[in-house]
């Protein structure tokens, strides 16, 4: 049965990276497909079995073709995995059981195969050997291929993207994203994830529009479908009519002209009308982003995420690689400073040889500074690289996921050890390099007064702080509506962190995505934050709102907000306040953002 083409179908997701693109869908196959479950008549059994065997044969041919196409000797060392998949396709139980189920239970091939897989899955789960048990994922991979062939969906291979396409996937890990040739990617569309998942952050920093949390994208979209995606509003249109395409092209043109208007603010100082100056810095993940950060008016790099150095490789970065990367960073941003965050692996980012994918709760597992304290050799290598690079510019070190004072002390002790080694070897470095703690775990915010005695600055990571304070998984689209930056708990926590920082005589910065929204930026200013760091493209609009506001009015606004008891009351008050204060300006992006 031919697959019905969706025409002009609108689906709503979460705007993860702004921008409108129109392009062909490129379906990444690890997607979960929705299976039609149908009862059949006895006379349809033979036809259904044939359909099933045809899908098996197609799957076999595809895997053989993929295997033959691998030319790179390094990659071909891993081709045995394709043999495992081919063996699964020949598995007697898989084939016979499915065919028997079609005949006996009179169900379609998809349903029958699903029932067989359930049995196999249970059998796999009971296996004691961990390696064999893990082969469940191969079974899953092969079965998704068979299902796709049954449904007539196209398969695509993540590494050989050609042309300019919109990548559609159930999920994309940061490692997946980086495996692709990003020159060929016009946009991303995923079933799961939200605004602050790492892939969303990466898309924003690369200026690639993305929509996440669509739930049904991979079920509804076929490879080759024409798509429009709006990374601001989270809208996706499948096979749009000419009229709809034109309306999006028009909107894109309007947004571009608004962007051009706001870009005028990039080169102006980040100063309120009543003379309060703040530092607006950029969050980046690659040195290549520095020209964009500067063009958008960044006053330094407030967060340099170092995970990319470690991802998509089997070995670890050497001290020399660390050093060269951070040196380029320091030199290209000089005389401004760059804050380098030490490895924040874990959560939704894993290292090839240290994968902790089996953790039940990765967001609360062995991640970030906890990982560094366990793998001290890896940590020391990175610290040596940072310290050596500090001789070439103005660098600061930031420790992620600090939960209490002991972690800071331990991390600093290791840093001292590394410094001693360098001093002994007469290698130059900045002896008084500033040390900061990310405040993104509730225990750190509650003990911020204690932490302030031990570090030179705080950087509030609201992406995680909101996640842990409100118990909202930052990548779970089902609870994203509860991810409320203006929750009274969050405002109170930020206020108390800033007070602790100032009483301890240190500055408080923010590097979570919250700072990138003009209305939130004003509230953060009123709460007393000293430094703001955000994705580069948001800097001009935040600069604009700061330049046309008075510090004193942001303080009064904050005072008002503390009178309310719910996030929605606060949201509503802020929206009205913005509309009144800046008629026709900012309100559009604020209401669109707040929908997510
Ligand atoms: C944060 O948690 O707010 C943050 C900036 O770090 P990341 O998004 O990399 O976890
Ligand atoms: Mg974080």
Query: Which residue is closest in CA terms to ligand 1's atom 8?
Result: 463
Instruction: State the DSSP code for 426.
Output: T
**CA–CA separation, 508 vs 501, rounded Å?**
6
**CA–CA separation, 201 vs 66, rounded Å?**
32
Cβ pair 12, 153 in contact under 8 A: no
Band of pLDDT at residue 70, cut at 50, 70 and 90? low
**CA–CA separation, 165 vs 517, rounded Å?**
29
Query: Which residue is closest in CA terms to ligand 1's atom 3?
Result: 461
Cβ pair 530, 276 in contact under 8 A: no
pLDDT of residue 353: 60
Greatest mean pLDDT among 251-265, 355-369, 509-523: 509-523
pLDDT of residue 228: 96
pLDDT of residue 128: 63
In the predicted model, what is the mean pLDDT of residues 282-302? Answer: 92
**Which pair of structure tokens corresponds to residue 215?**
């739930």
Cβ pair 231, 187 in contact under 8 A: yes
**Which pair of structure tokens corresponds to residue 443?**
């225990």
Band of pLDDT at residue 595, cut at 50, 70 and 90? very low
Would you say the CB of residue 317 lies under 6 angstroms from ligand 1? no
Cα of 512 to ligand 1 centre, how many Å? 6
Alpha helices in 45-128 (DSSP H): 45-69, 73-76, 80-89, 92-105, 109-125
pLDDT of residue 159: 65
Helix (H, G, I), strand (E, B) or coil at 512: coil
**pLDDT per residue over 407-430, tens digit each?**
999 999 999 999 999 999 999 999
Closest ligand to the CA of 202: 1
Band of pLDDT at residue 354, cut at 50, 70 and 90? low
**Which pair of structure tokens corresponds to residue 596?**
């997510």
**pLDDT per residue over 416-467, tens digit each?**
999 999 999 999 999 999 999 999 999 999 999 999 999 999 999 999 999 9
**CA–CA separation, 96 vs 33, rounded Å?**
23
Closest ligand to the CA of 201: 1
**pLDDT per residue over 215-244, tens digit each?**
889 888 988 999 999 998 899 999 999 999
Helix (H, G, I), strand (E, B) or coil at 582: coil
Band of pLDDT at residue 207, cut at 50, 70 and 90? confident
Residue 179 pLDDT more than 90? no
Cβ pair 156, 26 in contact under 8 A: yes
**CA–CA separation, 134 vs 126, rounded Å?**
11
Integer Rg of the chain from CA? 26
């Amino acid at each position: 049965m031919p697959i019905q083409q969706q025409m002009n179908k609108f689906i709503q997701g979460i705007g993860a990276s702004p921008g409108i693109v129109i392009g062909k869908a490129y379906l990444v196959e690890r997607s979960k497909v929705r299976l039609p479950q149908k009862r059949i008549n006895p006379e349809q059994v033979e036809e259904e079995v044939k359909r099933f065997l045809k899908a098996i044969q197609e799957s076999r041919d595809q895997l053989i073709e993929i295997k033959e196409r691998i030319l790179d000797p390094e990659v071909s060392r891993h081709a045995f995995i394709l043999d495992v998949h081919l063996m699964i396709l020949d598995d007697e139980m898989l084939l016979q059981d499915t065919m028997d189920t079609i005949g006996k239970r009179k169900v379609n091939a998809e349903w029958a195969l699903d029932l067989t897989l359930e049995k196999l899955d249970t059998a796999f789960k009971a296996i004691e050997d961990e390696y064999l048990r893990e082969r469940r994922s191969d079974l899953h991979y092969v079965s998704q291929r068979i299902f796709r062939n049954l449904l007539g969906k196209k398969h695509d291979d993540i590494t050989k993207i050609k042309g300019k396409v919109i990548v559609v996937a159930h999920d994309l890990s940061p490692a997946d994203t980086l495996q692709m040739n990003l020159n060929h990617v016009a946009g991303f569309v995923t079933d799961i994830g939200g605004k602050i998942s790492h892939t969303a952050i990466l898309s924003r920093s690369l200026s690639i529009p993305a929509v996440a949390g669509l739930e049904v994208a991979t079920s509804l979209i076929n490879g080759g479908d024409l798509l429009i995606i709006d990374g601001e509003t989270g809208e996706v249109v499948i096979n749009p009519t000419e009229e709809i395409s034109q309306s999006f092209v028009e909107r894109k043109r309007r947004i571009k002209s608004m962007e051009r208007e706001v870009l005028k603010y990039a080169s102006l100082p980040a100063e309120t009308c009543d003379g309060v100056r703040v530092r607006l810095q950029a969050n980046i993940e690659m040195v290549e982003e520095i020209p964009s950060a500067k063009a958008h008016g960044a006053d330094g790099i407030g967060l340099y995420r170092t995970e990319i150095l470690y991802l998509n490789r089997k070995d670890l970065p050497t001290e020399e690689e660390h050093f060269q990367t951070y040196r380029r960073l320091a030199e290209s941003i000089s005389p401004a400073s760059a804050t380098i965050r030490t490895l924040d692996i874990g959560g939704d980012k894993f290292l090839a040889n240290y994968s902790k994918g089996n953790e039940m709760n990765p967001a609360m597992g062995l991640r970030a500074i906890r990982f560094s304290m366990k793998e001290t050799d890896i940590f020391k290598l990175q610290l040596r690289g940072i310290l050596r690079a500090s001789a070439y510019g103005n660098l600061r070190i930031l420790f992620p996921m600090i939960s209490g004072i002991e972690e800071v002390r331990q991390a600093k002790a290791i840093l001292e050890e590394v410094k001693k080694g360098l001093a002994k070897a007469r290698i130059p470095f900045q002896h008084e390099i500033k040390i900061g703690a990310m405040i993104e775990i509730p225990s750190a915010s509650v003990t911020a007064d204690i932490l302030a005695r031990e570090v030179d600055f705080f950087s509030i990571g609201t992406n995680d702080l909101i996640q842990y304070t409100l118990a909202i998984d930052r990548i779970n689209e089902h609870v994203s509506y509860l991810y409320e930056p203006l929750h009274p708990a969050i405002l109170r926590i930020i206020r108390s962190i800033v007070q602790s920082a100032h009483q301890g005589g240190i500055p408080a910065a923010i590097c979570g995505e919250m700072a990138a929204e003009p209305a939130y930026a004003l509230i953060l200013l009123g709460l007393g934050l000293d430094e703001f760091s955000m994705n580069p493209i948001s800097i001009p609009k935040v600069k604009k709102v700061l330049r046309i506001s008075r510090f004193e009015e942001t303080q009064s606004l904050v005072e008002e907000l503390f009178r309310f008891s719910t996030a929605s009351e606060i949201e509503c008050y802020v929206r009205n306040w913005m509309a009144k204060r800046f008629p026709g300006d900012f309100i559009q992006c604020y209401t669109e953002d707040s929908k997510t």
